[in-house]
Amino acid sequence: MYKESQSQSYSVHLKIAHWLIVAILPFNIVIGYWMKHAQLTMSTMYSMIQWHKWIGMTVFVIMAYRICAKILTKPPESLFFRHPLEKILKIVSHLGLYILVFSVIFSGYLMSCYGGYPVNFLGINWAISVKTNPVYTDYMRVVHFYSVVSFLVLLSIHIIGYVTYLFRYKTNIINRMI
């Protein structure tokens, strides 16, 4: 495993974290959108919000694991790019994905805290006790929404980047992640 992480592909920890996020995060976008815009009864809405927060906190744990894996394991060989701008775009988009995932999580978390709502996860309420503030709650709601939208834009660039590399360099870089 260690040898592998030094050569052509990411460490097994990073691979697991990457694909877990791919499986879970879009699901939470659907739940978030659905609970906000579908006509639901109060009790269904309440339980969906609880599930939404629970899944969001799970994404946070996986992201924390991912960052530890990134720090503690060796990265694979750098990808070859003909133009330096392509490399810059790759670095910026990867960094942006990390930032936006955390922005979505923290804004959702703070929205709950400022609204005076609990954030139950693993049997503990993780919400910090702050004075409820509807202005901050609304502000965090806006940040939450636009972080998700920006994330989706960057994710599209991420996937387009993958497909472009496949055709431009005739190399399937998915092998570095599986």
Instruction: Looking at residues 48 to 67 of the shown chain, list those that interact with ligand HEM (rule: CB under 6 A).
Output: 49, 52-53, 56-57, 59
Binder of ligand HEM out of 97, 99, 143, 157 (CB under 6 A): 97
- CB-wise, 3 or 55, nearer to ligand HEM? 55
Q: Using a CB cutoff of 8 Å and minimum separation of 24, what contacts does 129-136 make?
A: 136/110
Size of the residue set binding ligand HEM (CB under 6 A): 41
- Do the Cβ atoms of 19 and 174 come closer than 8 Å? no
74 binds ligand HEM (CB under 6 A): no
Residue whose CB is less far from ligand HEM, 5 or 53: 53
Helix locations, the chain, DSSP H:
2-6, 12-37, 42-72, 84-115, 134-169
Q: Which amino acid is at 32?
A: G
Check residue 33 for interaction with ligand HEM (CB under 6 A).
Answer: yes
Residues 118-147, one symbol each (x = binds ligand HEM by CB under 6 A, - = not), give -x---------------------x--xx--
CA distance 41 to 33: 15
Q: Are 58 and 27 in contact (CB under 8 A)?
A: no
- Cβ-based neighbours of 131, under 8 Å, separated by 6 or more: none
Selected binder of ligand HEM within 20, 22, 118, 160 (CB under 6 A): 22
Cα separation of the two ends of the chain: 12
* Sign of CA pseudo-dihedral 132, 138, 141, 143: negative
Q: Which range, of 38-46, 81-89, 99-107, 128-136, touches ligand HEM by CB under 6 A?
A: 99-107
Please give the residue ranges that form the binding site for ligand HEM (CB under 6 A).
14, 18, 21-22, 25, 28-29, 32-33, 36, 49, 52-53, 56-57, 59, 70, 79, 94, 97-98, 101, 104-105, 108-109, 111-112, 119, 141, 144-145, 148, 155, 158-159, 162, 173-174, 176-177
